[in-house]
Amino acid sequence: MTSNSELREMSDEQLEATAAEAAQTLFRLRFQSQSERLNTPSDIRKNRRLIARIKTIQTERAKPANSTPAEA
C-alpha cells in the first residue's frame, strides 16, 4: 500500500497513472465480487481510499498557492 508521503512525492503524471491503475483494479474487484467470492474483501475499501487520497492531493496541488481574499 502506498502511504501519503509516498503519494505526495510523486509527480502529477505518476499520480495519474497510479489513480488509473487503482480504478482498474477497483473495477475488477467489484466485478469479481459480484460473480464469485473475494479472497480479501477489504481490497475494495483500500482501493477506494487510495483513489480518494490521490484525488485529494491533486486538488491541493491545483489550488493556487497564494490565494488572497477578494477586497471589497
- The structural domains of the chain, with segments of one domain joined by +, span 4-62
29 half-sphere exposure, CB direction, 13 A CA radius: 17
State the fold for domain 4-62: Helix Hairpins (1.10.287)
Q: Are 29 and 38 in contact (CB under 8 A)?
A: yes
How would you write the pLDDT of the chain (72 residues) with one tens digit per residue? 578 889 999 999 999 999 999 999 999 999 999 998 888 999 999 999 999 999 999 999 998 766 666 655
15 close to 54: Cβ distance less than 8 angstroms = yes
Predicted TM-score of the model (pTM): 0.81
Per-residue confidence (pLDDT) for residue 13, from 0 to 100: 94
Q: State residue 9's pLDDT score.
A: 92
pLDDT at 70: 61
Residue with cell 502529477: 12
Q: 8: number of CA atoms within 13 Å, CB side?
A: 5
